[in-house]
Structure 1
Amino acid sequence: MTPNLLTWCRRLCALACFAAPAVHAESLSLCTARADGNYYAAGQIIQSRADADRLRLTLLETAGSVDNLAKLARGECDAAIVQLDAYLVYQETHRKSRLELARPNYLYEEFVHLICRRDAGIQTIEDLADASAKHRILIGEPESGSAATWRSFTLLDPSYAAVASEPVGGMQALAELQKTNGASCMIYVSGLRSQFSAAVNDAGDSLQLVSVDDPDLDEARFAGERIYRFREIPSGTYPGLEAGRKRRDRKTLTVGATLFVSQRWAAEHDDAHRYLVDTILRAKPAILERVAPK
């Protein structure tokens, strides 16, 4: 090969390298919840496991599961982490404009926490319905998964709809519960020993963890599978709520924290969707470690 020909070959090779198309990373916006909560933390873990050259995840703070579903419907996010029962309640209340979502990705189970004043005389959730005129329950902010869970309970057993409820959650609900003549109970859904649960446990002198063991609440189904499952919250998980009482496991219901993807996004980004599902599987051990500390 002559020197001139060799020079031209080198130039052509260099041009070919510059002309090679760059790998395009797909973008996905993920609705989570508050930045100090488990959903946002789960999103961060998934984000950290994704190769940014293949999939760029943007995390969006929201008010919770119901807000996430509304944002999915408006196209404000491409995917969202929600409680499975919140999804069912949303679909039930939006029959004419139901969401079209890809196959859900189960992340972990969350526990229904029913916290009541010790002087309210409530030992199980059924006591609320049996004396509905006497009690008031704080069910969480309007767009939260906790509010959706209570709404689901009232659909499964209409006797719970007779209990006066208020859309108050978080630290505001905890403060209200401790007032003289305050609400009888509050309900929220989270992993065990969450940051908020720690605050509830610290205020446990006048509060107790109440069993959620009504068999009527185990009737919900999604694609033939149970939405709720009975689990035990082990004795000693919340020692402040057990102070002065006989320690024992408390039965409650669990519901899946689930990552849903818009059917539109999944169809338009088939390869990226498969990569996302693989990334979620790789992230799950770290997510479980975060939401269920030993």
Structure 2
Amino acid sequence: MSMRPAFTVLAILGLLTGLATAAPGVHAQAPAKPAKPKVTFCTGQKDGKYEELGKTMRTYVRSAELEIVNTEGTLDNLERLAAGTCQVAVVQPDGLTVFKRQSGKSLDAEFISKAHPEYVHLYCNKESGVDRITDLRGKKDALVILGAQGSGPWIFWNNLVAEDKTYEPVPTVVADTMKRAAATVESDPKACMVVISGLKSKSTLFVNDNYGDTLTLAKADDRDLKNVKNWAGKPLFTFAPIPEGTYPNIKPNGRRDIATVSMEAVVIADKTLSAEIKDELTGATKNALKVMFRP
């Protein structure tokens, strides 16, 4: 019996096997997925609410890689947005007013979504005699401690002085940490400090837990604040109390509401971002807030 047919079949199979091994490129390959565009999100200081918002939003954005950047806060974010080194930012809305007034720069950005409400907390030494923010008017011997230049408290105070010049003589200093600011107020019977944050934030709970014996929470509801406008020309602040018992160790909040003002932080973005990314950022903000502030 002839062996030629079997040999021929084996030879062909060997040849095909050799071609497959030697030339893997002949196999069809799945096309590589296009890289996601990188979007820089300027938030705030490390471990703060703005950073938490950015990191939580990142899990809901699918069409871009959201890079979280820590900053000094609102004005720093706006400067970076104007310079193009930042494409998305979370800011206090009063920062837009101060940014425009001080820099004269235009900002090619658009509103994405409201974020969480932030309240003005005015902490004072119990010996200061300050029950309401208006008690500070014209007091050259008082001391008001703010955050770093461009921070929320710094912006708030500048807007207040712009509306009511009687606050201008009040000496102010900046403190780079909550611990230093609170320690200064505790040691100076004429001192107060401004904190802008959501209720029961890391900062305000730190004060509640450590300074209940020496600090008090004063009212911050100066009616001149109703004249401060946001970027759209509408009232910036809402008059809203810090509810009774929010800070049980800080008198008098342990037994009554504290009149103050609040505003909602906002997420804004460079107009050049795609509509898809901006839509995702809007949804991501809403989803992140549900996670951050779930009951």
Q: Same fold (TM over 0.5)?
A: yes
- Aligned position for 2:276: 271
Question: Contact 2:90–2:266 at 8 Å: present in 1 too?
Answer: yes
Task: Look up the match of 2:114.
Answer: 106
The letter of the residue matching 2:50 is: Y
> In 2, Cα distance between the equivalents of 1:280 and 1:196?
22
SS in structure 1 at match of 2:127 = helix
1:225 deviation in Å?
Answer: 2.6
CA offsets, 1:162-192, max 9 Å, x none?
A: 211112252111111111x465100010011
1:35 aligned counterpart, secondary structure:
coil
Would you say 1:253 and 2:264 are equivalent positions? no
- Number of residue pairs the alignment of both structures matches: 268
Q: Which has the higher helix share?
A: 1
Higher-Rg structure is 2
Partner of 1:5: none
Question: Structure 1, residues 220-246: CA drift from partner, whole Å, max 9, x if none?
Answer: 223243211011111111111127x88
**Following TM superposition, where does structure 1 have runs of at least 4 consecutive aligned residues deviating by more than 4 angstroms?**
none
Please tell me whether the aligned partners of residues 44 and 51 of structure 2 are also in contact (alpha carbons under 8 angstroms). yes
Query: Is 2:238–2:262's contact at 8 Å kept on the other side of the alignment?
Result: yes
1:229 aligns with 2:229: no
One-letter amino acid of the counterpart of residue 208, structure 1: T
Counterpart of 1:194, as a letter, is S
- 2:157 corresponds in structure 1 to 150
The residue type paired with residue 226 of structure 2 is D
- The answer to whether the 8 Å contact 1:176/1:182 transfers is no
Q: For the aligned residues, what is the CA RMSD?
A: 2.2
Could you tell me which residue of structure 1 aligns to residue 221 of structure 2? 213
Paired residue for 1:134? Answer: 141
For 1:225 and 1:284, how far apart are their aligned partners in 2?
24
* Structure 2 unmatched ranges of 5 or more: 1-26
Which residue identity lines up with residue 224 of structure 2 in the other structure?
D
Q: Deviation of residue 21 (structure 1)?
A: 6.3
Q: Say which SS state the counterpart of residue 119 (structure 1) adopts.
A: coil
Instruction: Check conservation: 2:128, 2:189, Cα contact below 8 A.
Output: no
After superposition, the C-alpha distances for 1:4-29 in whole angstroms (9 at most, x for unaligned) are xxxxxxxxxx74x63x5634422211
Q: Aligned in 2, Cα 1:168/1:182: closer, same or farther, shift over 3 Å?
A: farther
Q: What is the rounded CA distance, in whole Å, between the counterparts of 1:156 and 1:132 in structure 2?
A: 17
Which residue in the other structure is 2:101 paired with? 92
Structure 2 distance, partners of 1:138, 1:162, is 14
TM superposition shift of 1:282: 2.8
Superposition pairs of residues 40-189 of structure 1, within 5 angstroms? 40-51=51-62, 54-95=63-104, 97-129=105-137, 131-169=138-176, 170-179=178-187, 181=188, 183-189=190-196
Q: Is the 8 A contact 1:83 1:258 kept in 2?
A: yes
2:244/2:254 contact within 8 Å kept: no
Map of 1:7 onto structure 2: none
Quote the Cα distance in structure 1 between the aligned partners of 2:212 and 2:248. Answer: 8
The partner residue of 1:33 within 44, 52, 64 is: 44
Cα distance in 2, alignment partners of residues 182 and 98 from structure 1: 43
8 A Cα contact 1:117 1:208, kept in partner: yes
The 3-state SS of whatever aligns with 1:258 is strand
Aligned to 2:19: none
C-alpha distance after superposition, 1:237-281 (max 9, x if no partner): 1111127x88210011101111111223x2xx2322222223223
Q: Deviations over 1:38-66 (max 9, x none)?
A: 11111111011222xx2110100111111
In structure 1, what is the Cα distance between the partners aligned to 2:66 and 2:191?
A: 41
Which stretch shifts more, 73-82 or 205-214? 73-82
